[in-house]
């Protein structure tokens, strides 16, 4: 049973008031709030077993190592990985994607090859491929976004040929909310022998994820968007690819043997985890995964679908509002992006802030997509487990007030 009021009680930050207004937090697509269980996990680590991992021969370090590796196993089960060795801890999805570009990418791409990504990517799943193309001489091609906010699959078919070595796409757009047809994209890419990178930064926190079922080759996501602390992210990779890849960062903990002449790499996943990792944050991620599992990802998706449907309905009735992305909640997640007349989204966000409503305004790290849509910026309200329909009402009410303020000035 999904009980949003009970869930809200677990989030201390939602209890606060500013100028008599309760916090209406509608920016979880940027970063989620943290439940007490996660906050306490960090506190407990620092208070009672803070020590470096994989090194110390004393109880504290052993306890820290065990908790850190336990977190990895929780994450592996959460995404149904075949093995915990396929789960690499990084700083965030951005680092995970760069890791692929700088290791697999540089080792495998050359002039004449093609990289395909889409027009709806976050900069994190765009610039690494631009840089990779620049360094290797490979070509970068984009699957167009159609006016209704979905990918042009026919154009994708036309782009696919033997030169395509890598296909990178977001499973859920952080601007349009679109949930892309992952299996179709992946199967078609595999049919021409391309490796597939999935940006799961928006999808993993909100949708059930099964990497074996998806059958992609890499999946990148961030902890902080799924109730965990900042500074911890995940790269899942297919074992056969990870095994042959060069390390990304080098240094301590990622080696098996070192001499003045060279070094041998550690086994997976540690080959990719140089230096002291974000221990507390990883442990926190493990607790976040526990929390999400307790609610159930299918329940979370159902709740967010309801929220999204409600928001799309309410916002479409606001005079002057233009909604971006698909209008069908079945094929989209809870990031609802819009513009309101000619009010600049920054002004809108400032006005909403007066009512303690937090939304995102700007290009949401997807500038080329905004160029394509013919706008410089947009406003985005995004939902998570702790949001309730009344908060959409607050948003709509505040938008009406914003419109009044600006209309009076005209």
Partner 1 sequence: MDDFYRENILEHYRNPSFKGTLDLFTHSHEENNPVCGDQIRVDMFVNDEGVIEKVAFSGHGCAISQASASMLMEMIHGKKLAEAKQLDKQDILDALGIKIGPVRIKCALLALKVFKAGAYGLSGVELDEMEDEDDW
Catalytic positions: 365
Helix (H) or strand (E) holding 357: strand 357-358
Q: What is the C-alpha to C-alpha distance for residues 34 and 230, in angstroms, rounded to an integer?
A: 10
Q: C-beta of 107: minimal distance to partner 1 in Å?
A: 18
* Contact with partner 1 (CB under 8 A) among 54, 122, 165, 206: 54
* Contact with partner 1 (CB under 8 A) among 15, 83, 293, 376: 83
* Contact with partner 1 (CB under 8 A) among 9, 46, 55, 187: 55
Asked whether position 73 contacts partner 1 by CB under 8 A, the answer is yes
Q: Which residues are within 8 A (CB) of 277 and not within 5 positions of it... i.e. 6 or more apart?
A: 53, 68, 89, 253
Return the closest-CA partner of residue 129 out of 170, 160, 89, 88.
170
- Closest CB to partner 1 among 61 and 299? 61
Return the closest-CA partner of residue 203 out of 227, 236, 228, 225.
225
Determine the interface stretch with partner 1 among 77-85, 314-322, 327-335, 395-403 (rule: CB under 8 A): 77-85
Q: Strands 335-340 and 378-382: what pairing? A: antiparallel
DSSP label of 272: G
Q: What is the C-alpha to C-alpha distance for residues 258 and 80, in angstroms, rounded to an integer?
A: 34
Determine the interface stretch with partner 1 among 25-33, 79-87, 151-159, 208-216 (rule: CB under 8 A): 79-87
Give the count of beta carbons closer than 10 Å to the beta carbon of residue 313: 12
Determine the interface stretch with partner 1 among 36-44, 52-60, 190-198, 324-332 (rule: CB under 8 A): 52-60
Q: C-beta of 344: minimal distance to partner 1 in Å?
A: 51
How far is the CA of 288 from the CAs of 61, 207, 356, in angstroms? 22, 15, 26
Q: C-beta of 60: minimal distance to partner 1 in Å?
A: 11
135 phi and psi angles, rounded to 5 deg: -75, -30
Asked whether position 243 contacts partner 1 by CB under 8 A, the answer is yes
* Contact with partner 1 (CB under 8 A) among 1, 5, 57, 191: 57
Return the closest-CA partner of residue 10 out of 45, 44, 43, 40.
40
- Closest CB to partner 1 among 17 and 267? 267
In 171-325 the beta strands, taken as DSSP E runs, fall at 195-199, 218-222, 233-237, 255-259, 262-265, 321-324
Rounding to the nearest 10 degrees, give the CA dihedral for residues 251, 257, 259, 262. -70
In residues, how long is the chain?
410
- Closest CB to partner 1 among 113 and 273? 273
Q: C-beta of 269: minimal distance to partner 1 in Å?
A: 10
Determine the interface stretch with partner 1 among 62-70, 166-174, 206-214, 288-296 (rule: CB under 8 A): 62-70
Looking at 93-181, list the stretches that DSSP marks H as alpha helix, in order from N- to C-terminal side. 93-100, 106-108, 127-136, 153-159
Q: C-beta of 85: minimal distance to partner 1 in Å?
A: 6
Determine the interface stretch with partner 1 among 58-66, 102-110, 175-183, 321-329 (rule: CB under 8 A): 58-66
Asked whether position 84 contacts partner 1 by CB under 8 A, the answer is yes
Q: C-beta of 274: minimal distance to partner 1 in Å?
A: 13
Q: What is the C-alpha to C-alpha distance for residues 115 and 195, in angstroms, rounded to an integer?
A: 10
Asked whether position 241 contacts partner 1 by CB under 8 A, the answer is no
Binding-site size for partner 1 (CB under 8 A) equals 25
User: Interior CA angle at 356 toward 352 and 360, to 5°?
Assistant: 55
Q: What is the C-alpha to C-alpha distance for residues 239 and 201, in angstroms, rounded to an integer?
A: 21
Residue 177 · residue 328 · CB < 8 Å: no
Q: C-beta of 57: minimal distance to partner 1 in Å?
A: 5
Q: Per CB under 8 A, which of residues 247..286 are in contact with partner 1?
A: 255-257, 264-268
Site string for partner 1, 200-239 (x = CB under 8 A): ---------------------------------------x
Asked whether position 48 contacts partner 1 by CB under 8 A, the answer is no
User: Interior CA angle at 199 toward 198 and 205, to 5°?
Assistant: 115
* Contact with partner 1 (CB under 8 A) among 44, 50, 61, 353: 61
- Closest CB to partner 1 among 71 and 145? 71
Determine the interface stretch with partner 1 among 60-68, 101-109, 128-136, 277-285 (rule: CB under 8 A): 60-68
Q: C-beta of 63: minimal distance to partner 1 in Å?
A: 9
Residues that bind partner 1 (CB under 8 A): 54-57, 59, 61-62, 65-66, 73, 76-77, 83-85, 239, 243, 255-257, 264-268
């Amino acid at each position: 049973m999904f009980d949003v009021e009970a869930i809200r009680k677990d989030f201390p930050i939602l209890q606060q008031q500013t100028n008599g207004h309760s916090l209406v937090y509608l920016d979880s697509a940027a970063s989620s709030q943290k439940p007490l269980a996660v906050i306490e996990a960090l506190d407990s680590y620092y208070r009672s077993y803070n020590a470096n991992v994989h090194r110390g021969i004393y109880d504290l370090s052993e306890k820290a190592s065990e908790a850190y590796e336990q977190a990895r196993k929780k994450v592996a089960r959460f995404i149904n990985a075949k093995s915990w060795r396929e789960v690499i801890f990084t700083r965030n999805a951005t680092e995970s994607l760069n890791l692929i570009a700088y290791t697999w990418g540089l080792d495998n791409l050359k002039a004449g090859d093609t990289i395909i990504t889409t027009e709806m990517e976050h900069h994190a799943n765009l610039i690494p491929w631009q840089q990779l193309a620049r360094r290797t001489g490979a070509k970068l091609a984009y699957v167009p976004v159609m006016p209704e906010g979905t990918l042009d699959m026919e154009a994708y078919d036309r782009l696919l040929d033997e030169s395509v070595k890598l296909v990178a796409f977001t499973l859920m757009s952080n601007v349009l909310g679109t949930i892309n047809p992952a299996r179709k994209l992946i199967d078609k890419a595999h049919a021409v022998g391309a490796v597939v990178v999935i940006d799961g930064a928006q999808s993993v926190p909100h949708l059930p994820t099964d990497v074996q079922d998806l059958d992609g080759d890499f999946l990148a996501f961030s902890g902080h968007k799924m109730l965990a602390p900042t500074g911890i992210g995940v790269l899942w990779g297919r074992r056969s690819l990870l095994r042959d890849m060069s390390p990304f960062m080098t240094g301590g903990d990622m080696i098996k043997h070192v001499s003045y002449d060279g070094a041998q790499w550690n086994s997976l996943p540690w080959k990719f985890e140089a230096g002291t990792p974000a221990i507390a944050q990883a442990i926190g991620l493990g607790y976040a995964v526990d929390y999400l599992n307790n609610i159930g990802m299918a329940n979370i998706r159902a709740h967010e679908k309801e929220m999204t449907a409600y928001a799309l309905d309410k916002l479409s009735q606001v005079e002057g509002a233009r909604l971006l992305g698909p209008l069908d909640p079945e094929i989209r997640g809870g990031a609802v992006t819009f513009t309101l007349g000619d009010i600049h989204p920054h002004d809108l966000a400032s006005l909403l802030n007066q009512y303690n409503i937090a939304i995102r305004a700007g290009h949401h790290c997807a500038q080329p997509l905004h160029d394509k849509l013919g706008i410089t910026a947009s406003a985005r309200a995004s939902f998570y487990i702790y949001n309730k329909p009344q908060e959409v009402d607050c948003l709509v009410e505040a938008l009406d007030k914003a419109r009044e303020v600006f209309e009076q000035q005209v």
